[in-house]
């Protein structure tokens, strides 16, 4: 497949525009307007406002399969530290995860496919808001995504530091972990720090609880199960000479199997209820279920593998990659519709800064690769009749 240099240059220009004007989840008004306007010029039917600021573009060419491709549009509340000429113009907001690149690649694929039309079917391009923590995918689904736009399958791509530039990686099962959060309140009895026997110290209970929670993956789960429990915040007390009445712990839980996720929630609840009692402290917990496990559907993952090998060569495709314990709300879409999620490597001569880093910048050199992947996958899944 040959893509014009003009198309790739235009995609890079779009990417830099998105990067300079990042918008947080459900605030992607300017981005969504530009996406919708471009899709219309390409000849797509455009539906705006789905899930708040989401956009769906539809291109029909024959009576074949109905396929969806998704790109996320939102930025992060990060202050950029790159000093690039197209660096963020909005204080405290930055495209630190590459969603600017995802959007630009899918737009370029849209333009190419609208011109060549070498497919037989219907293509829905889903430009999603609020992937970062706010579950924009779920919001789009609740707002009727798959009811208004029924699909045989949907696919999502994410750039991936740590993989060589232009390489594709995926597997036929879990790609990303679930994400749950918890807040534990430990209530004891405050007292003078010199007289701890007159109180019930929630900080000692908190310290023991933090350590005890780490035994859940190590001792209460099978070594074949995957779970990460991280206590990330501890707040208590106001004065240095006072044992406080209350301590609050907050943290996250990530798992790669839904049954393990269920068991971990139950075990944390047991620890919170019973362990503090030995210190005369009462424990309560607010547990919030967030993103589910991102699980590929095997037949569709194999289709991505086949398309990637065809587009990039077998040596640039890894099928069977280990999943990540990070999370992704494309998981909601894969719960509602068959499909697959895959990574596109970004590391060139120098390793890329990590995702969510203030020094991260999407690698423009993979834009052509991403456009090639999308167009190859579209043409493979919706082949022209002989």
- pLDDT at position 140, please? 98
Query: Which two structure tokens, joined as six digits, stand for 247?
Result: 């301590």
- Arithmetic mean of pLDDT, 76-98: 97
Rounded CA-CA distance 148/128 in Å is 15
Could you please report the per-residue DSSP string of 269-283? HHHHHHGGGGGT-EE
Does 386 have pLDDT greater than 80? no
Q: Quick check: 346 and 161 in contact, CB under 8 A? A: yes
Per DSSP (E only), the strands in the chain are: 45-50, 54-61, 66-72, 121-128, 153-164, 168-170, 174-176, 179-187, 191-192, 227-236, 242-243, 246-255, 282-291, 294-295, 317-319, 339-347
| 356 annotated among ligand-binding-site residues | yes
Ramachandran region, residue 88 (left: φ > 0; alpha: ψ -120 to 50; beta: rest): beta
- pLDDT at position 375, please? 98
Among residues 150, 106, 155, the alpha carbon closest in space to that of 340 is found at 155
Q: What angle do CA 174, 178, 181 make, to 5 degrees?
A: 170
Q: Quick check: 338 and 300 in contact, CB under 8 A? A: yes
Residues in a beta bridge with 185: 248, 284
Residues in a beta bridge with 247: 186, 236
Contacts of 219 (CB under 8 A, 6+ apart): none
Buried b (16+ CB within 10 A) or exposed e, 272-302: beebbeebebbbebebeebbbbbbbbeebbe
Residue pLDDT, tens place only, 170-185:
999 999 999 999 999 9
Q: Quick check: 42 and 35 in contact, CB under 8 A? A: no
- Tell me which CATH code domain 5-176+293-381 carries: 3.40.630.10
Residue pLDDT, tens place only, 43-80:
999 999 999 999 999 999 999 999 999 999 999 999 99
| 97 annotated among ligand-binding-site residues | yes
User: Where does the chain hold its CATH 3.40.630.10 domain(s)?
Assistant: 5-176+293-381
Residue pLDDT, tens place only, 287-329:
999 999 999 999 999 999 999 999 999 999 999 999 999 999 9
Does 2 have pLDDT greater than 90? no
Query: Which two structure tokens, joined as six digits, stand for 112?
Result: 């190419």
Where does the pLDDT of residue 13 fall: very low under 50, low under 70, confident under 90, or very high at 90 and above? very high
Quote the percentage of the chain above a pLDDT of 90.
98
- pLDDT at position 385, please? 82
Average pLDDT of the chain is 97
pTM of the predicted protein model: 0.94
Query: Which two structure tokens, joined as six digits, stand for 28?
Result: 């992607």
Rounded CA-CA distance 28/19 in Å is 12
Residue pLDDT, tens place only, 364-383:
999 999 999 999 999 999 99
Does 1 have pLDDT greater than 80? no
Q: What angle do CA 322, 106, 110 make, to 5 degrees?
A: 140
- Arithmetic mean of pLDDT, 324-341: 97
Place of tokens 């029909």: 60
- pLDDT at position 289, please? 96
Classify 379 as helix, strand or coil: helix
- Tell me which CATH code domain 178-290 carries: 3.30.70.360
Query: Which two structure tokens, joined as six digits, stand for 371?
Result: 């456009």
N-to-C CA span, the chain? 19
Does 273 have pLDDT greater than 90? yes
- pLDDT at position 230, please? 98
How many Cα atoms within 13 Å fall on the side-chain side of residue 273? 6
Among residues 183, 166, 385, the alpha carbon closest in space to that of 286 is found at 183
| 102 annotated among ligand-binding-site residues | no
Rounded CA-CA distance 99/51 in Å is 17
User: Where does the chain hold its CATH 3.30.70.360 domain(s)?
Assistant: 178-290
Residue pLDDT, tens place only, 140-199:
999 999 999 999 999 999 999 999 999 999 999 999 999 999 999 999 999 999 999 999
SS (H, E, C) 51-96: CCCEEEEEEEECCCCEEEEEEECCCECCCCCCCCCCCCCCCCCECC
Residue pLDDT, tens place only, 20-45:
999 999 999 999 999 999 999 999 99
């Amino acid at each position: 497949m040959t893509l014009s240099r003009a198309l790739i240059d235009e995609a890079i220009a779009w990417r830099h525009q998105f990067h300079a004007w990042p918008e947080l989840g459900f605030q992607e008004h300017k981005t969504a307007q530009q996406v919708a306007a471009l899709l219309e010029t390409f000849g797509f039917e455009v539906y705006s406002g789905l899930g708040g600021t989401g956009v769906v573009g539809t291109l029909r060419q024959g009576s074949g399969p109905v396929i969806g491709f998704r790109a996320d549009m939102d930025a992060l509340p990060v202050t950029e530290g790159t000093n690039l000429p197209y660096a963020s113009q909005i204080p405290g907001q930055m495209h630190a995860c590459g969603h600017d690149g995802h959007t630009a690649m899918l737009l370029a694929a849209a333009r190419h496919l609208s011109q060549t039309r070498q497919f037989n079917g219907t293509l829905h391009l889903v430009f999603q808001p609020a992937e970062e923590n706010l579950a924009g995918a779920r919001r789009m689904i609740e707002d009727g995504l798959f009811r208004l736009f029924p699909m045989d399958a949907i696919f999502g791509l994410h750039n991936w530091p740590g993989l060589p530039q232009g390489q594709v990686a995926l597997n036929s099962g879990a790609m990303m972990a679930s994400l749950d959060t918890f807040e534990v309140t430990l209530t004891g009895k405050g007292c003078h720090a010199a007289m701890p026997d007159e109180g019930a110290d929630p900080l000692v209970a908190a310290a023991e609880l933090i350590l005890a929670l780490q035994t859940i993956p190590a001792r209460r789960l099978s070594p074949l199960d995957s779970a990460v429990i991280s206590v990330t915040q501890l707040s208590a007390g106001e004065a240095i000479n006072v044992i406080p009445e209350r301590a609050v712990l907050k943290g996250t839980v990530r798992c790669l199997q839904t049954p393990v996720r269920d068991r971990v929630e139950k075990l944390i609840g047991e620890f919170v209820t019973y362990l503090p009692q030995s210190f005369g402290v009462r424990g309560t917990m607010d547990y919030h279920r967030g993103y589910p496990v991102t699980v590929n559907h095997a037949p569709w993952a194999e289709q991505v593998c086949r398309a990637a090998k065809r587009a990039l060569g077998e040596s640039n495709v890894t099928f069977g990659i280990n999943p990540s314990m990070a999370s992704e709300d494309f998981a909601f879409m894969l719960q509602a519709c068959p499909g697959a999620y895959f990574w596109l490597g970004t590391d060139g001569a120098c390793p890329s800064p990590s995702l969510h880093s203030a020094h991260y910048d999407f690698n423009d050199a993979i834009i052509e690769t991403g456009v090639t992947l999308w167009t190859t996958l579209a043409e493979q899944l919706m082949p022209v009749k002989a």
